[in-house]
Amino acid sequence: MLIAANWKMYNGPAATAEFCLGLREQELDGVDVVVCPPFVSLAVAVQLLAGTEIAVAAQNVHWEDEGAFTGEISAPMLLELGVYGAIVGHSERRQHFGETDESVARRAHRALEAGLFVIACVGETEQERERGETEDVLRRQVSVLEADDNLVVAYEPVWAIGTGKTATPEIAQEAHAFVKTLLDVPVLYGGSVKPDNADELLAQQDVDGALVGGASLDLESFTSICRAAPRS
């Protein structure tokens, strides 16, 4: 069971240091934990979580190793920093920054090739779900990915991200089971995961963990979600 904290554009180095020092003290045996800070906070997270089982991942990665790509970060740069993996294709990247299935595929492929662990995000909008297009959207988004031992998919219904809405455990289970018919990889649930709904979501047969957004910014909240995960 994998629980990943996506901090989005929160927590600079000072806040990251405080969180990581607190996280080191928690008993989280039996669950894989990943923290995904902003780029400016990766180094301090790597430093303070060294010697623990807690991994550090970036929120994005480029498909080229170097070049004239202002504002981007490459896989070799992340590896040099000691970063373990990266998120690709988060719905906020797709919505606000023009990310496409093709660019997500290129980012994922290069990161995996370089030896990074990848969390690739997929999910439908509220309009797509209302039109009955959920499976078509998931099929299209997943089709550009290739199975890899270091790849996991995160199903994040766009209508449940930052909205306070959450997919019911039944909706999550149905979507996860469908994704697994397309690609044989673990599937995380992302979309307003909180301590009060984590138990039921994580208990679903095909839910292999969670990609946690806002609820991961508070140490007590995040560790509560980690402890809700069934132990392997």
Counts of helices then strands in the chain (DSSP H, E) = 10, 8
Supply angle C-alpha 29, 35, 37, rounded to 5: 165
Q: Under DSSP, is residue 212 helix (H, G, I), strand (E, B) or coil?
A: strand
Burial of 209 (0-12, 13-18, 19+ CB in 10 A): buried
Catalytic residue positions? Answer: 90, 156
Residue 161 makes CB contacts below 8 A (sequence gap 6+) with 91, 92, 123, 190, 191, 192, 213
